[in-house]
Amino acid sequence: MITFFAQAPALPLHAAGKYVAGAYIVFILMLIVYVGIMARRLHTNQREIQELKLLLEQRERQELAAQQPVPDSEQVA
Amino acid sequence: MTTHVRHLRGLTIATAVMLTVSLALVFFYAPLDAEQGFIQKIFYIHVPLAIVSLVGFTLGGAFAVAYLRTGNRVWDMRSYCVIHMSLIFSVGGLLAGSIWAKASWGHWWVWSEPTLVSYLIVILLFCTYQPLRFSIEDPERQSRYAAVFAIVCGAFVPINFIVVRLSTQFLHPRVLNLEGGNLPNSMKLAFYTSLLAIALLFATLMRYEMAAKETRIETRRLRRRLLGDDALRPLGRSAAPQ
């Protein structure tokens, strides 16, 4: 890698540099914005799945409680 | 695991590696152009973005054909995602091209140049795809009408490309043709690596988009199973397949 960069031509960043940088920055910015939107969507999805998971657990607890036999009053006495 | 999530990690790594390699080749390996000098480096981002977006638009039409033939909604989703992604890439290509035009011709836009204007027409045409979908409420009709639109516009892309190539004006540089073009080998290597990197980026982002949409649909389905139809928030009108 070091040899590669040592042999690489120096980049002439005078007048043309700002245009080349501009073109590549536009591309990278678009990529970043897109990834940001995707991350937001992923976050919403994860929150919704978490919500569903909690609801499922709550329902399972309620079902379990309903299945357990109620202690007989005579036996208790 | 859905089909679009599979191999996503491998594809993402391959894309990141290819993008890095292509940038290294463009800036440290490919020689400076004798005529344009350093400005010509924009070529390595502008042309791949344009090519990949145009192929994407055509692919959108091909997926729409598959949807009409099979009736499988996955094809409609693919067609929608590929057109959506192509629009983003084409705007990137257009902006990069405009910057290149300003640097080498002194103008941001040249209306007398057929390649530029025809590319803009294609983009504007596909810009109406999403509003068309949005305007139709019934999902079945929305998919069908959108598929017909995608096929017609997808067929327009290669026809438009050929017509422009056959036109007589050659202000726009022609560096690629079926015989390999007039690029030296070092530039060719950098260009094809960039093209592959951008194509991989397109494929990766499209898979992410598909996976996100599928997860959303799956979550909604799960909510319906768990809580019944009443618990679902009513779906708003959307351009995306539901």
The sign of the dihedral angle between the CA atoms of B179, B181, B185, B186 is negative
Contact criterion met (CB < 8 Å) for A12 and B42: no
Per-residue pLDDT of chain B (242 residues; tens, 9 = 90+): 455 566 788 889 999 999 999 999 999 888 888 888 888 899 999 999 999 999 999 999 999 999 999 999 899 999 999 999 999 999 999 999 999 999 888 889 988 888 888 899 999 999 999 999 999 888 889 999 999 999 999 999 998 888 887 775 555 666 666 555 677 888 999 999 999 999 999 999 999 998 888 888 888 888 888 877 666 666 667 777 87
Which of B27, B29, B46 comes nearest A11 by C-beta? B27
Give the other-Cβ count within 10 Å of A22's Cβ.
18
Q: Nearest to residue B115, comparing CAs of B60, B176, B202, B195?
A: B176
Task: Enumerate residues 82 to 141 of chain B having a beta carbon within 8 A of any beta carbon in chain A.
Answer: 88, 91-92, 95-96, 99-100, 102-103
Question: B18: distance to nearest CA of chain A, Å?
Answer: 15
Retrieve residue B228's tokens: 């019944």
Whole-number pLDDT of residue B97:
92
Q: Where are the domains of chain B?
A: 37-211
Buried b (16+ CB within 10 A) or exposed e, B139-154: eeebbbebbebbbebb
A25 touches chain B (CB under 8 A): no
Whole-number pLDDT of residue B228:
75
Give the mutation candidate from A7, A13, A14, A27 for the B interface (greatest B CB count, under 10 A).
Answer: A27
Contact criterion met (CB < 8 Å) for B91 and A30: yes
A57 touches chain B (CB under 8 A): no
Retrieve residue B132's tokens: 């068309």
SS (H, E, C) chain B: CCCCCCCHHHHHHHHHHHHHHHHHHHHHCCCCECCCEHHHHHHHHHHHHHHHHHHHHHHHHHHHHHHHHHCCHHHHHHHHHHHHHHHHHHHHHHHHHHHHHHHHHCCCCCCCCHHHHHHHHHHHHHHCHHHHHHHCCCHHHHHHHHHHHHHHHHHHHHHHHHHHHHCCCCCCCCCCCCCCCCCCHHHHHHHHHHHHHHHHHHHHHHHHHHHHHHHHHHHHHHHHHHHCHHHCCCCCCCCCCC
Contact criterion met (CB < 8 Å) for A55 and B226: yes
pTM of the model: 0.82
For the residues A15-22, what does the mean pLDDT come to?
85
The phi and psi torsions of B181 (rounded to 5 degrees) equal: 80, -175
Question: A68: distance to nearest CA of chain B, Å?
Answer: 23
pLDDT above 60 (res A6): yes
Whole-number pLDDT of residue B225:
81
Task: Enumerate residues 55 to 74 of chain B having a beta carbon within 8 A of any beta carbon in chain A.
Answer: none
Q: Distance between CA A26 and CA B63 in Å, rounded?
A: 29
Q: Which residues of A fall within a CB distance of 8 Å from B19?
A: none
Per the CB < 8 A criterion, the answer to whether A19 and B40 are in contact is no
Retrieve residue B197's tokens: 């990197």
| Residue A8 banded pLDDT, cuts 50, 70, 90 | low
Which of A20, A45, A48 comes nearest B39 by C-beta? A20
What is each CA distance from B138 to A57, B82, B142, B172, B240, in whole angstroms? 36, 22, 6, 44, 12
B24 touches chain A (CB under 8 A): yes
Retrieve residue B130's tokens: 């999403």
This model of the complex carries an ipTM of 0.80
Retrieve residue B213's tokens: 């949409």
A42 touches chain B (CB under 8 A): yes
